[in-house]
Amino acid sequence: MLIQDEKKTEVETFDTETNTFTANTQLCVMNLLSEGVGVNHVKKVIKHVAQFCGRTVEKLPSVRTINRIGDQRAGVSYMHISEELGREKDTTLQSDETRKSGSCYEVFSVRDSSEKEWVIGLKDMINKSSDNCLATLKLIINDINDCTNTSVGKQILAEIKNTMSDRVATEKKFHELLKAY
């Protein structure tokens, strides 16, 4: 993005013909968000890096646009999951729950036969009951299906042969609920 044309001092971030930010700009925003840069700071980081390289930036996305680009990361991620994990057989569903600042979060990942791990989703939950764990998994599966316009989420779920968690007390009930689903 910054090394486009050695003679230009302004970095092209916006395509006036399509009235959209360039693919490089969108990818830069996605990468910054993935590295933990807050949405309110993305513009500043891009501007500072451009200045560091002796360049100026043509146009920067608004916070609203940065949020929209951030939301697109899930879609890109789900498409990648559907292409790669959708073909896998005999997978293992892994889950973990954590509490942060009084809120409860559940993360689900799937490990394939080659031991590659795919994080399929992280959601907040009301509590860590087995019913809520299953409801959270269903939301993640529906998100994958909605973002990919397929039923690959259910396909991934159908190929789960093992589960792994650190909660013995709720795990047995979760297994029963998952099998019934």
Confidence class for position 16, pLDDT limits 50, 70, 90: very high
| Residue 99 sits in the same domain as residue 46 | no
| Residue 175 sits in the same domain as residue 95 | yes
The pairing of strands 91-100 and 56-57 is unpaired
Whether 67 is covered by a domain: the verdict is no
User: Domain range spanning residue 98?
Assistant: 82-180
Q: pLDDT tens for residues 29-63? A: 999 998 999 999 999 999 999 999 999 998 999 99
| Residue 98 sits in the same domain as residue 39 | no
0.85 surpassed by pTM = no
Number of domains the chain is built from: 2
Q: Is the per-residue pLDDT at 5 higher than 80? A: no
CATH number at residue 102: 3.30.420
Whether 40 is covered by a domain: the verdict is yes
| Residue 55 sits in the same domain as residue 87 | no
Helix (H, G, I), strand (E, B) or coil at 19: coil
Cα(19)–Cα(22) distance, rounded to whole angstroms?
Answer: 9
- For the chain, give the mean pLDDT: 88
Q: pLDDT tens for residues 73-93? A: 888 888 888 888 888 888 999
Q: Is 114 exposed, middle or buried (0-12, 13-18, 19+ CB in 10 A)?
A: exposed
